[in-house]
Structure 1
């Protein structure tokens, strides 16, 4: 199947990054969000990333201009009517995602593949609200999207080989590395990563060590580029909590129980870098 035009739903950090890598790979990209302010911020973020790429010599000015020329914006999901692929990157909320996919199923042509960038929610459940579950698939990019090479490709129960092969080929066109994963809570990346972050939070909660000490142990002892608590702040503590809740509910195993300190920080509004405070304080 030929994919020429792509809609990316959600102009936040992930959605803007996904739109950028598609546009850089010469796809025509329609970036969607619910209002013009969000779209303006998304395009500003993409432009900032491209300018940084020019400054570092990774791309030239012409590549930057071609990328921006491949991008357009919309606040209407109905504009997906001529798209071959839609990648959804909205908030990690099953109710919201199901509503988006119900609408996309109505507005897009029969051949269109519907992909979700969900980091933990079941693709099979999302696909069930459409009349094309065989063309619904997970396409989980890593953050920051322009930098990270991995894309987890998640098959739902009904996802066909044709759909998978198309998305695998597109992922390679984006200069990313596709990895096939079956539909289980948290997939692979977050099923392994989030319990580690949660356990790191427990060590702080139980007074074993300070956040700084925990991060130093993991960086210097395990050769991690970033400590787990710094990473949690970067991801967003609300997102970490949500994924742990998905794992806990999905598997019913107490080992996935979110740490009470994580819940406490989220209730306090200490969500990490995006709010200026999490396990660390951020002044910018």
Structure 2
């Protein structure tokens, strides 16, 4: 196994907790950093609940040690630190600069689903240490990790990242830094068209999704996937892609309206479906 013995995850929300879980079940020690004590308690709860579900499903290994803290300095000594904070350039840049300062020997991963790696790398004194590690939600059940290579990402870091993904029991695809990478670009385009069909009265959300799950063997339809990812997250990505790639990614009115009403999907209890 090529995984570092100590991995840091900066951000303990749904994605960060899932990433922590993925490493913990391999026996790796994980330190999760959050911004406040309240957020740290919530992050610990998410990870522990996720591990408990793994045990219910038959996991009988010895997980690594979990530390949840508000002190970034506890990332010192980690071999890999992955940031998993919201998709805001300024926030991610601030976190990455902090990680570079406190975890001097660590490789640095960003879990961004759409932001340019090269833009985020501008926050670092040594941009060769940064690679995109785009995990998918829910992380424990997902088999895919998108490895995104920036213009200045060290080649040996790409090779190590490919090995780490394999050690997690997942499949990695390697893509060059580009708007939306491969997965977000394709997934968002499908979801936006499904929303336009809903606006036009073509079919119900369930029937649109069933067209893809039964007709194309997608495990989950595009509208239900949007609910799981979060309508606000999808809106942010679509707006970014529209700026970078043009009006074909312009968010439909139904998406903007639902986000304005707080209908964000599963996390709020209502999106294109009631949860």
SS at match of 2:141: coil
1:104–1:46 distance in 2 versus 1, CA, 3 Å: closer
Aligned to 1:274: 267
Instruction: Indicate yes or no: 2:242 matched with 1:248.
Output: yes
Tell me the distance in 2 between the aligned counterparts of 1:185 and 1:7: 26
Conserved? CA contact 2:3–2:164, under 8 Å: no
Secondary structure of the equivalent of 1:274?
A: coil
Deviation per residue, 1:202-231 (Å, 9 max, x gap)? 011122222222122222222222221111
1:31 maps to what in 2? 32
- What is the aligned counterpart of 1:170 among 164, 174, 195? 164
Deviations 1:189-208 (A, max 9, x none): 11101010000000111222
Once the 2 structures are TM-superposed, how far is the Cα of residue 26 of structure 1 from its aligned partner?
1.8
- Please list, as runs of the form range in 1=range in 2, the aligned pairs for 1:46-195 lying within 5 A after superposition: 46-57=47-58, 59-60=59-60, 63=61, 66-67=62-63, 69-109=64-104, 111-195=105-189
The correspondence of residues 202-221 of structure 1 with structure 2, limited to 5 A, is: 202-221=196-215
Q: Shift of residue 44 of structure 1?
A: 2.0
Divergent runs of 4+, >4 A: none
Q: What's the CA shift for 1:2?
A: 7.3
| Contact persistence 2:81–2:108 (CA under 8 A) | yes
How much has 1:182 moved relative to structure 2? 0.6
Give the equivalent residue in structure 2 for 1:14. 15
- Three-state SS of the structure 2 residue aligned to 1:240 is helix
TM-score where L is the length of structure 1: 0.92
CA distance in 2 between counterparts of 1:234 and 1:194 reads 13
- Residue pair 2:235, 2:256 contacting (<8 A) in 1 also: yes
The equivalent position to 2:224 in structure 1, one of 230, 233, 237, is: 230
Q: Give CA deviations for 1:119-172 in whole Å, capped at 9, x if unaligned.
A: 110111111111110111100111111111111000111001111111111111
Q: Counterpart of 1:258 in 2: which secondary structure?
A: coil
Q: Report the Cα offset of residue 25 of structure 1.
A: 1.3
For the residue of structure 2 that corresponds to 1:151, the secondary structure is strand
Shift of the 54–107 alpha-carbon distance from structure 1 to 2, 3 Å rule, reads closer
Structure 1 unmatched runs, 5+: none
